[in-house]
Structure 1
Amino acid sequence: MQIKNFKIGKDLKELTEHRTVVLPVACYETTINQNIHGYIPLHWHDEIQFVRMVEGEACFQINEEKLIVRQGDGLFINSGCLHMAEEMNESGCVYICLNVSPDFVVSQEQYATYVAPYIQATNLPYLYIDSNKSWGKNILDAIGNIHQWIQQKPPYFELDVTLNLTLVWKNLITNGFQLEYDRMEAVKSRRMKQMLSWIDLHYAEKITLDDIARAGQLSRSECCRYFKRMLKMTPLNYVIDYRIQKSLVWLQRTESNVTEVGYKVGFNSTSYFIERFKKAKKMTPLAYKKLKMDNGSIQTNDG
């Protein structure tokens, strides 16, 4: 089951509960262009994430780095790393997403040795999983098996899932890369999350560059450098994009109108809201609303 509009909290931490009934694990197919935003928006979570690309290709951003994951290959995204994804070349991108709590990968006695150093490392935000390499193929095959077992729930599937998660992790960590912990990198990550969290709380209000910088305990110039490095845009342009994201949900409600939605998400001018929405989505807010009505995506008052 795909999550088309997963919930993101005040600090961009994903609020979706990644687990089956008895396992702290979630495994599902994701079709990027079916997401409410048309892409997977910036977020993070405590769970480690594995991706197996089934069809097409996608551009993933993890922290400040971007890479393309192609059909047949995969990706590991470490715990706590900001990430987003968008489809490449209208390729009909579909991937299996496996999210698992780090403390479930191995036994509690082995966690400090075999898991903690890897999720705390600042030089391991992600790892590309190449299907042409034996360790990569082992991981991708196991992800496919886990997905099938969770969907079909055969007898004792929980044990098979658990065994294969250990296999996945062993293949990941036996590559021999040197782990590093840079305290300043950890501080930068924390400050970036603080600024994004502040924007999430106050996006509907008047926001200045000073406000955002203060939330991250940075100067104005340092704040701009953080956003340019991580998101390739200015802080205030990020605010505008974030307001547009938030408006998509409101526009899909039957009772909403464009003017009200614009003010609700922080635009103090309807014409400016329409202008920025059209620039971002290649259509007006009203056209977007009508498109969703025609597709049957509009929500009633009770959600």
Structure 2
Amino acid sequence: MQIKNFMVDQSLKELTNHRTVVLPIACYETTINQNIHGFIPLHWHDEIQFVLIVKGEAIFQINEEKRMVREGEGLFINSGSLHMAEEKNHSGCVYICLNVSPHFVLSPELYTSYVYPYIQATNLPYISLDANELWGKNILNAIIKINQLIQQKSPFYEIDITVQLTLIWQNLIINGFQLEYEQTEMVKNHRMKHMLNWIHLHYAEKLMLDDIARAGQLSRSECCRYFKRILKKTPLNYVTDYRIQKSISLLQQAESNVTEVAYQVGFNSTSYFIDKFRKSMNMTPLSYKKCKMNDC
């Protein structure tokens, strides 16, 4: 089984190159449990994203909300929305992921009127795509078609893709969503990304709650409320979980040892690292390392 590492920068912006050679899009199949973490970690990107579950089921978290998506269903995830995904009930979830630069959805002349207002709206972090609704079915079928077009690369396939993207966007906005632009929501999202960015830059150091709160220009109590509301955990618990995530790739390096990895990712006690790793991964760091070395 191929294990894939999901790359993000310090602000959680995904580093995947969301484009082909000639098109500002990417379309690929993702098997959730093949990720190095066993799930798709929290991230965001400028591109809009369309998801279609082709096997199993998954739980997606988009900003503060969680949504279960079953086989044959999908999601639209808006530009800039924090999101993550984990498979449900060990279902071996596989989904098609279509990422598109917002500027490529429609022509420049139409972008200002028909795309920009939607990606800026604060009440549309995501939209569920239901195959039982005609508009949803049209979008899901177009995702499949684009995936096929990119794989086959038949003559003029780029033009065919633009036709399918226009169809997708028309079916999405035809519902007449009442768009909202709440300044408080924009500020909240901005502050959360600042705090996460600060943690990801300094996770290997000694971190204090005051430092995290200061990065988001919040009080300690308000900082905790942000994390509890959006990530369902305390800021310092998030730090611990993030350190465990960073340790996973280090443990897979043949020359690494558990003690060195523990201190590299910010733990000041090997025993504490082992305890937290065991609770998170259901095995010790050494057992994990041996398992990965033996490809078990």
Q: TM (normalized to structure 2)?
A: 0.98
Q: Deviations over 1:241-297 (max 9, x none)?
A: 00000001101111111110010000000000000000001111111111111218x
CA distance in 1 between partners of 2:191 and 2:3 (Å): 28
Please tell me whether the aligned partners of residues 247 and 262 of structure 2 are also in contact (alpha carbons under 8 angstroms).
yes
Aligned to 1:104: 104
Aligned to 1:203: 203
Please tell me whether the aligned partners of residues 40 and 84 of structure 2 are also in contact (alpha carbons under 8 angstroms).
yes
Please tell me whether the aligned partners of residues 194 and 216 of structure 1 are also in contact (alpha carbons under 8 angstroms).
yes
Aligned to 1:264: 264
CA distance in 1 between partners of 2:5 and 2:153 (Å): 25
The letter of the residue matching 1:248 is I
Aligned to 1:49: 49
The letter of the residue matching 2:139 is I
Please tell me whether the aligned partners of residues 3 and 30 of structure 1 are also in contact (alpha carbons under 8 angstroms).
no
Q: 1:3 to 1:90 in 2, by over 3 A?
A: closer
Shift of 1:6: 2.7
CA distance in 2 between partners of 1:255 and 1:4 (Å): 20
Shift of 1:3: 8.8
What secondary structure is seen at the aligned counterpart in 2 of 1:244? helix
The letter of the residue matching 2:110 is Q
CA distance in 2 between partners of 1:63 and 1:160 (Å): 33
What secondary structure is seen at the aligned counterpart in 1 of 2:205? coil
CA distance in 2 between partners of 1:85 and 1:202 (Å): 25
Identity of aligned residues (%): 73
Shift of 1:227: 0.2
The letter of the residue matching 1:15 is L
Aligned to 2:123: 123
Aligned to 2:273: 273
CA distance in 2 between partners of 1:191 and 1:165 (Å): 32
* Count of paired positions: 295
What secondary structure is seen at the aligned counterpart in 1 of 2:184? helix
What secondary structure is seen at the aligned counterpart in 1 of 2:122? coil
What secondary structure is seen at the aligned counterpart in 2 of 1:66? strand
CA distance in 1 between partners of 2:6 and 2:87 (Å): 17
Aligned to 2:86: 86
Aligned to 1:17: 17
CA distance in 2 between partners of 1:30 and 1:208 (Å): 36
The letter of the residue matching 1:219 is S
Please tell me whether the aligned partners of residues 28 and 97 of structure 2 are also in contact (alpha carbons under 8 angstroms).
yes
CA distance in 1 between partners of 2:56 and 2:16 (Å): 25
Please tell me whether the aligned partners of residues 6 and 40 of structure 2 are also in contact (alpha carbons under 8 angstroms).
no
Are residue 244 (structure 1) and residue 238 (structure 2) matched?
no
Aligned to 1:190: 190
The letter of the residue matching 1:104 is F
Aligned to 1:31: 31
Are residue 152 (structure 1) and residue 167 (structure 2) matched?
no
What secondary structure is seen at the aligned counterpart in 1 of 2:22? coil
Aligned to 2:76: 76
CA distance in 2 between partners of 1:249 and 1:107 (Å): 42
What secondary structure is seen at the aligned counterpart in 1 of 2:221? helix
Unaligned runs of 5+ in 1: 297-303
Unaligned runs of 5+ in 2: none
Aligned to 2:66: 66
Shift of 1:77: 0.3
The letter of the residue matching 1:228 is K
Shift of 1:177: 1.5
CA distance in 2 between partners of 1:229 and 1:6 (Å): 24
Q: Which moved more, 1:74-83 or 1:287-296?
A: 287-296
What secondary structure is seen at the aligned counterpart in 2 of 1:50? strand
CA distance in 1 between partners of 2:235 and 2:150 (Å): 41
Please tell me whether the aligned partners of residues 47 and 99 of structure 1 are also in contact (alpha carbons under 8 angstroms).
yes
What secondary structure is seen at the aligned counterpart in 1 of 2:50? strand
CA distance in 2 between partners of 1:62 and 1:168 (Å): 21
Shift of 1:15: 1.2
Aligned to 1:300: none
Q: 1:91 to 1:137 in 2, by over 3 A?
A: same
CA distance in 2 between partners of 1:36 and 1:77 (Å): 23
CA distance in 2 between partners of 1:143 and 1:4 (Å): 23
Please tell me whether the aligned partners of residues 48 and 100 of structure 1 are also in contact (alpha carbons under 8 angstroms).
yes
Are residue 221 (structure 1) and residue 217 (structure 2) matched?
no
Please tell me whether the aligned partners of residues 37 and 245 of structure 1 are also in contact (alpha carbons under 8 angstroms).
yes
Shift of 1:190: 0.1
